[in-house]
Structure 1
């Protein structure tokens, strides 16, 4: 238990107040980033379809979201670190190596572990901020407790509420929950369009129009109420003075702090 606690605390230190910055040195890197953002947008469409389907349980839409986010972080781990990302992260955490590869392995692995546990944790909001700059992009990932985000959309889960099917109000509650889920589906689908607008095709869009873009995504639950928020975020053009030639961890930018102040003013960042 003490080893797990130590690993957890090291992971928290790696996550707290930091972001990953990845260079975009050539058209191939830009194309890869664009395709990743397109997958995010397409994933919103598929999740919306599950939310709107009266025959699909809400758990299917929630599990799909967790799987998609987890797969994204695991893909980044394997691409940047290799298949033995656990060994690399453990070696960095143990002080056996001190390099950007090990540092990113710890960061991304902690993100992956927290995503996998996300739907089982009550009163915790996952906050993702992805920002595009002319020569790079950043990914900032953190968790907050104490409040659901202001804005976005909310919907209820009868399963998490523990509603008895024989209860006289059960039929009405289930009907209202499905209505809220269909409304949420529309919002989730629109979020996919936001991602596409913020990260257009580099093959058809000049750099002057694609050099800056971004979005924040928040998801969490309190008891039986789930929240989903996706909005565009304008990157600060003065954030970086120097170019970068390899992925690295950087302090989170003012954009991420503004996002939390706007949507989570009463929540506490825990990692």
Structure 2
């Protein structure tokens, strides 16, 4: 999936200190949420497979992951904005409309655009937080300066290196890079399981065991160096104890601030 650059150039303010809260009123809604999160886990495992393959460029691994994650975003966008969600998002970003649907479309579309830009920008850490509550879930897309957390696994991408190395050093660098990518692949595959455990199948898991769950992931790039991190987050049980009737933008909760501190970001400027 490619987002039209001529029509949409991104605006981080759309995401600033804001999350989207989406209701889970029935089993069908829970199934859709579960399916979307499993799509994210599948995308992570596919990325791991490609990262571990020395014959596959790193960009191909990211593109394969993006294609699967993008489908999850598209499903949500179509759910509340219809098939013409891109036009709705762009109109809101241009100030041509100012309504809840436009704001939601702009939020998800901005998040999708930022994910697509991960391999082209440097020194910007993207760390979305997804939290499950009894009757809803929130998606909180956040950014910070820097490219890694203290918990991140780091790996090299030779295809992003413009240095003209001599053959001996080039061979050593490629071997070290492949080793770092295999190590990262193992980590990415392991953390995909965290997603599956935090957001289990509603048809197989009692409600009491699935009413709360959460993850935060972080990815960044600095030149030839890439980083990845994913861990569990415990939602605040008092944060959303009321029901919500429709998807809506909400102010980020204390979980986001706590998570940022716990990640021990190298940078401290939240975008």
Q: Same fold (TM over 0.5)?
A: yes
Q: CA deviation at 1:23?
A: 0.3
Q: Which residue matches 1:148?
A: 148
Task: Judge conservation of contact 1:45–1:189 (CA < 8 Å) in 2.
Answer: yes
Q: CA deviation at 1:49?
A: 0.6
More helix as a share of residues? 1
Task: Judge conservation of contact 1:23–1:136 (CA < 8 Å) in 2.
Answer: yes
| 2:132 matches 1:138 | no
Q: Which residue matches 1:229?
A: 229
CA distance in 1, matches of 2:178, 2:41: 23
Task: Provide the secondary structure at the position in 1 that maps to 2:219.
Answer: strand
Task: Provide the secondary structure at the position in 1 that maps to 2:128.
Answer: strand
CA distance in 2, matches of 1:200, 1:263: 25
Q: Which residue matches 1:15?
A: 15
Task: Judge conservation of contact 1:214–1:232 (CA < 8 Å) in 2.
Answer: yes
Q: Which residue matches 1:118?
A: 118
Q: Which residue matches 2:190?
A: 190
Q: Which residue matches 2:262?
A: 262
* C-alpha spacing 1:174/1:91, structure 2 compared with 1 (3 Å): closer
| Mean Cα deviation higher: 258-267 or 214-223 | 258-267
| Mean Cα deviation higher: 105-114 or 214-223 | 105-114
Q: CA deviation at 1:232?
A: 0.8
Q: CA deviation at 1:166?
A: 3.7
Q: CA deviation at 1:86?
A: 3.1
CA distance in 2, matches of 1:191, 1:13: 29
Task: Judge conservation of contact 1:165–1:171 (CA < 8 Å) in 2.
Answer: no
TM-score (norm 2): 0.90
Q: What are the Cα deviations for residues 141-177 of structure 1, in whole angstroms up to 9, with x where unaligned?
A: 0221134222131101112122436432111111111
Task: Judge conservation of contact 1:66–1:118 (CA < 8 Å) in 2.
Answer: no
TM-score (norm 1): 0.90
CA RMSD of aligned residues (A): 2.1
Q: CA deviation at 1:97?
A: 4.1
What residue ranges of structure 1 are gaps of 5+ in the alignment?
none
Q: Which residue matches 2:103?
A: 103
Task: Provide the secondary structure at the position in 2 that maps to 1:170.
Answer: helix
CA distance in 2, matches of 1:143, 1:233: 17
* C-alpha spacing 1:237/1:185, structure 2 compared with 1 (3 Å): same
CA distance in 1, matches of 2:115, 2:132: 23
CA distance in 1, matches of 2:250, 2:204: 30
CA distance in 1, matches of 2:124, 2:60: 20
Task: Judge conservation of contact 2:46–2:65 (CA < 8 Å) in 1.
Answer: no
Q: CA deviation at 1:78?
A: 2.0
Task: Provide the secondary structure at the position in 1 that maps to 2:137.
Answer: strand
| Mean Cα deviation higher: 129-138 or 141-150 | 141-150
Task: Provide the secondary structure at the position in 1 that maps to 2:242.
Answer: coil
CA distance in 2, matches of 1:32, 1:164: 49
| Mean Cα deviation higher: 145-154 or 135-144 | 145-154
Q: What are the Cα deviations for residues 93-152 of structure 1, in whole angstroms up to 9, with x where unaligned?
A: 455544321110121122222222221101111111111000000001022113422213
CA distance in 1, matches of 2:61, 2:165: 22
Task: Judge conservation of contact 1:213–1:235 (CA < 8 Å) in 2.
Answer: yes
Q: CA deviation at 1:34?
A: 0.8
CA distance in 2, matches of 1:210, 1:51: 31
* C-alpha spacing 1:133/1:53, structure 2 compared with 1 (3 Å): same
What residue ranges of structure 2 are gaps of 5+ in the alignment?
none
Q: CA deviation at 1:252?
A: 1.0
CA distance in 1, matches of 2:46, 2:242: 38
